[in-house]
Structure 1
Amino acid sequence: MRIQSLTMAALAVALAGCAQNPAAPLAHAAATATPMANEAEAADTIYSGGPIVTVNDRQLSAEALAVKNGRIVAVGALADVTRLRGKRTRWVDLQGHVLTPGFVDPHAHFGGFGSQAIGANLLNPPDGDVNTVSDVVQKLREFAQSPDVKRTGWVFGLGYDDALLGRHPTAEDLDQVSTTLPVIAVHISGHFSAVNSVGLKALGYSADTNDPPGGVIRRKAGSREPNGVLEELASIPHMIKAVNPSKPEDIEYFTRRGLELAKSFGYTTAQEGRAFTANHNAFAAYANKYGFEIDVNAYVDYLDRKLLDDSKWFGPNYQQGYRLAGLKITLDGSPQGRTAWRTQPYLLPPDGQQAGYKGYPALADDKALMALYDEAYRKHWQVLTHANGDAAVDQLIRTISPAVTQYGVGQRRNTLIHGQFVREDQLKTLAELGIIPSLFPMHTFYWGDWYEQIVGSVAAQKISPLRTALKYHPVVTSHTDAPVALPNLLQVMDATVNRTSRSGKVMGAAERLTPLEALKTVTLWGAYQHGEEAHKGSLEVGKLADMVVLSDNPLTIEPPRIKTIKVLQTIKEGKTVWQRQP
């Protein structure tokens, strides 16, 4: 719905109708009793008429909030904030809805938002309506008729889940979509894909092709012929090219569509959690030409780390809404796809693997990793490290420890990304190393039931142990990893608080966070992880007016209903950048 806003001139007219309209906002009537501020002090906008959740422990709630020049200048009692009204002050009546800090996603892939918004939606309910491999084929057939296919040259879709479909689509399945165009279906984890026969030929994959390091080309039974399913580094570099355009006008189109998607979910700060040079060039070009309406920070894949030495975009300050923030290193794969590297075997190995299979590392050379971390610490780069399995977390600890010993913890805000199977002893060591846990409890809903099959109920109950992490860390975060699923941070909050699976099973009740803690993981603590807590993440005087208006209060609504909350308005530095239409 549309949030009402009134200038002070229009406010007088509205107040005149209060006697005839008992439902008219009484806050406006109270405002007329206070003398107006002079123009130099007057606020540009005042918000009242609904709960204001500040996420500031010193003052958790407020009646009103005032903004001037994109920053918060007052927050507190209505009578106090009203003193800043002037002749041109715009008064926003929240109509009982809730104002909170804008959302700061601690880890996502903003560069994939455009592809998610444009391509076929292959997600299962509640984010999509795919339930069978036949549904995947049909969705891709529908997208094959779209003019947007010409923008990449591939028929593509994102989000299929073999755990719920029962298997991966194969080349034989996807040949039903097209026998003339290359077709790719991207797994919900982003770590697998399935391509049709034309796609295999386009990628140069045949019976004569060996598996690349860190990847697997799955084969038809009893032969070396590819079956269309690709794992990890056999998939990822090609998938990125297939679902992203190359022409400048098409890149702009994808970026704009992704930006709209982010704003619609309340993002005021988005992250590209694994940028390559092509991603960075696209973001920089968009920032130069248009400027981003929200902030976008990007972490460069270690293979393209030279950007952090040479680029003017690297540093703590945003330029036109964009900055390079640091380095990304990926140590293993996907737990739901069973490529995460564990110390214990999977109970149900994936196709083509034997009993005792534990997943595998993305970077097996510890010495090379030590050199990477040494370079990052020496150059004061913040590092995000993707590690899902506990064997990968062990590798992180042993390879980063020499750099911490030599250079100290400092204020780098280095972060473990995902940590699905991280152990308590590892969380304690990570705290000593100054590494923030950014965990992924959304998996409790999407794959909690599947984890019970592949790793057993005991391990499944311990995935993304945020409450245990808070024993050792003052700050933890919880993220979407979108486009793994929709970039819906309210869904993330719901999973962080409730930890229920699709079947309604509670997945580790002892690891639940409170609604306030969950909100902090995607606002104040998310800002802290990015080194931006001085300006973002809570509604305090002096901070940027990065805010979101929600349909309901996540702190007071029944916890199982948090996922039903809707974003009504997204506000960046005092400017409304997205609003839900009636």
Structure 2
Amino acid sequence: MTLTTRRSVLRAALLGATCLTSLGRGAIAQSSLSDIGSAMATSPDATIYTAREIVTLDPERPTATAVAVVNERILGVGTAEDLVRALGDQPHTIDTTFADHVIVPGFIAQHDHPVLAGLTMSSEILAIEDWTLPGGTVPAVKDKADFLTRLKAASDAMEDPAEPLLSWGYHSYFYGELTRDELDGVSTTRPIIVWARSCHEFHLNSAALNVGGVTEEAMESWSPSARAQSNLAEGHFYEQGLFAVLPLIAPMVINPGKFRAGLGIMRDYMHAKGVTFGNEPGGILSKEIQGIVNSVMSAPTMPFRWSFMADGKSLIGKYDDDAQVVAETEKLAAWYGGMTELAEGSAKLFADGAIYSLAMRVREPFLDGHDGVWMMDEDKFLRGFRVYWDAGYQIHIHVNGDAGLDRVLNALELNMRRNPRHDHRTVVVHFAVSGADQVERIKQLGAIVSANPYYVRALADKYGEVGLGPERADAMVRLGDVERAGISYSLHSDMPMAPGDPLFLMWCAVNRVTSSGRVAGEDQRASREQALKAVTLNAAYAHRLEHERGSIEPGKLANFTVLDDNPLTIEAMAIKDIGVWGTVMEGRVLKVGTLAHDDAALAPTKDEVDQTDFARSVLDHAVSVVHAHI
């Protein structure tokens, strides 16, 4: 037995990974190796998985060719011969299923939205890029004419003339402003709702406005900012206007049967991309909607676990008492179970608007002179930061612009000076437009970054022409500076803001190749190893889970992603094309395309088809929390 393997076995035993029933912890510390070997004979069966190569991300043993697993935990890492010798008389089998594959730590979707993905992936997808889903590929929209033609074809194909048509993916900076008259040209009788690519704005035709009762009179009760971010004449509602109109149109947007089917699409899609764990950061704060999510995602057949973060923005808006905000946040744990759970001790706040709608707040004006928007009024943002900070929470903050980032860092510094905290890991989420000076400030304040590198791929070319200009557009998501500063960073897709594909995110970060094929901001490229860590170990660190997930080490959960090649050594431009065989999730071997799900349970019930009860619950919820958003 090598020294490294012996240390691995002892470490795993001390962590309880092997269930040595005849020895307690104190006995282990006092026993000889022969005593431990004897105890192995009564231990549960172990499985040794061999592979062409294992990338562990453990600095003590960065590579291996075998990993031993007991139940849901890793027992040891090394060669098959070392592990067999270490196991001694403990029952074990050698599994060569992955002998021709590469095992990496299980991919972690650090910041994705199954609620939004379930809605968008079950809608009529008409977007700026191709979407390759389990049911086939939906090609990108060419221009506005193509969009309107395809939207009309979708409407004409629907049997029920009164059924609402929800489409997702339109982007006005790519195809031009979308008018109410143009949507009325598709249909004057069918409600049509176009959910923009950003998910932060709606375009409605006249029928949708009429069915929803969206009138000047209805808008009088909205806040000034919500009214300012709405255009009734054009049927356009964005940012805070979107949240204000949502209660009126929710039954047309959220069809529970389609939503549940969309969650099934999301489940299969993300498993095919090698995801073993994910987080929904601040989803819709509705127990009824979460119940539908749980009907799919809590099932024992789910191929990955998912945690849900508290929507701090809504809770701050709903409750005036600081202690009640924290108490109500903690109560959310009861909403989850099975394969879903609350991300305890974490909350999400918002700074500025979306990058896809160029609504973020920037230091220098946009090329056309327009201003971005704030997603939370400053007093509410500062209160939310203070309340969760003082309660010891980790705060994740949606921020896209450099002026927005100034607000975030100012709040962080204020609270650090007022109430210093160690290892707070405040997360700067999205990190689209930033200044080099802000990177140093992030480091000094002890924050970390969760970045979306797809912004460069999808938007740098277009935003170099409109919005930001070439210099700012090419410097988006400056991971090179972050990496050189030694700041921990993770990558996220914000699904559906980018394809929920960790290998593709790595490819985007490492290559920074735009949609036209050029390299944008070469000095901001990420290294391969850090990009892999960004979808594994650093993603776990961003949720304070690095002791359980993110690397292949004894005692940690047996979460692996099984690949056809090694992303650290394959040609950089080929990273996104590496095949995913499947995953091992807490010891369960899950090959892509072979899992059995009770998808008959995804079909809508009669009540859900009628939507009566569901619509009422959504409206009751939305009315009660809408002021949290506006």
Range of TM-score over shorter length = 0.7 to 0.9
Q: Deviations over 1:549-570 (max 9, x none)?
A: 1222211111111121232202
Q: 2:117 aligns with which of 77, 96, 113?
A: 113
Q: Secondary structure at the match of 1:116?
A: helix
Q: Does 1:324 align with 2:343?
A: yes
Q: 2:143 aligns with which of 110, 129, 132?
A: 132
Q: 2:236 aligns with which of 229, 232, 239?
A: 229
> 1:337 and 1:283 mapped to 2: Cα distance?
27
Give the partner amino acid of 1:450: K
> 1:499 and 1:370 mapped to 2: Cα distance?
35
Q: Secondary structure at the match of 2:463?
A: helix
Q: Deviations over 1:10-48 (max 9, x none)?
A: xxxxxxxxxxxxxxxxxxxxxxxxx9x966456543222
What's 2:176 paired with? Answer: 167
Q: 1:309 aligns with which of 327, 343, 348?
A: 327
Q: Does 1:498 align with 2:511?
A: yes
Unaligned runs of 5+ in 2: 1-36, 132-137, 317-323, 596-630
Give the partner amino acid of 1:331: A
> 2:190 and 2:55 mapped to 1: Cα distance?
51
TM-score by length of 1: 0.82
What's 1:479 paired with? Answer: 492
**CA shift for structure 1 position 431:** 2.3
Q: Does 1:517 align with 2:493?
A: no
Q: Secondary structure at the match of 1:275?
A: coil
Residues 314 and 207 (structure 1), Cα distance of their counterparts in 2 relative to 1, 3 Å cut: closer
Q: Does 1:270 align with 2:272?
A: no
Unaligned runs of 5+ in 1: 1-34, 350-355
8 Å CA contact 1:370–1:402 kept in 2: the answer is no
> 1:55 and 1:180 mapped to 2: Cα distance?
57
Q: 1:417 aligns with which of 426, 429, 436?
A: 429
Q: Deviations over 1:99-148 (max 9, x none)?
A: 11111122221222222332222233343412223443455456558899
> 2:54 and 2:244 mapped to 1: Cα distance?
44
Residues 43 and 538 (structure 1), Cα distance of their counterparts in 2 relative to 1, 3 Å cut: farther
8 Å CA contact 2:304–2:339 kept in 1: the answer is no
8 Å CA contact 1:46–1:91 kept in 2: the answer is yes
Deviates further, 170-179 or 191-200:
170-179
8 Å CA contact 1:415–1:438 kept in 2: the answer is yes
Deviates further, 41-50 or 571-580:
41-50
**CA shift for structure 1 position 288:** 6.4
Q: Secondary structure at the match of 2:386?
A: helix
Deviates further, 447-456 or 252-261:
252-261
TM-score by length of 2: 0.76
8 Å CA contact 2:306–2:339 kept in 1: the answer is no
Q: Deviations over 1:58-111 (max 9, x none)?
A: 322111112111111121123113444976636132252221111112222122
Q: How does 1:178-217 map to 2 (within 5 A)?
A: 178-206=187-215, 209=219, 213-215=224-226
Q: 1:545 aligns with which of 555, 558, 566?
A: 558
Q: Deviations over 1:392-423 (max 9, x none)?
A: 11111223332222222333322111121121
Give the partner amino acid of 1:125: E
What's 1:449 paired with? Answer: 461
Deviates further, 396-405 or 544-553:
396-405
Q: Secondary structure at the match of 2:488?
A: coil
Residues 573 and 118 (structure 1), Cα distance of their counterparts in 2 relative to 1, 3 Å cut: same
Q: Does 1:334 align with 2:354?
A: yes
Number of aligned residue pairs: 532
What's 1:436 paired with? Answer: 448
Deviates further, 206-215 or 130-139:
206-215
Superposition RMSD on alpha carbons, in Å? Answer: 3.3
Q: 2:107 aligns with which of 91, 103, 114?
A: 103
> 1:146 and 1:577 mapped to 2: Cα distance?
37
Give the partner amino acid of 2:409: I
**CA shift for structure 1 position 376:** 0.5
Q: 1:361 aligns with which of 352, 369, 374?
A: 374
> 2:123 and 2:107 mapped to 1: Cα distance?
25
> 1:69 and 1:146 mapped to 2: Cα distance?
50
> 1:144 and 1:184 mapped to 2: Cα distance?
11
Q: Secondary structure at the match of 2:142?
A: coil
Which structure is higher in helix share? 2
> 2:594 and 2:339 mapped to 1: Cα distance?
27
> 2:592 and 2:414 mapped to 1: Cα distance?
49
Q: Secondary structure at the match of 1:496?
A: helix
Q: Deviations over 1:411-445 (max 9, x none)?
A: 33221111211212222222232221112221111
What's 2:545 paired with? Answer: 532
Q: Secondary structure at the match of 2:241?
A: coil
Give the partner amino acid of 1:132: D
Give the partner amino acid of 1:321: T
Give the partner amino acid of 1:108: D
What's 1:48 paired with? Answer: 50
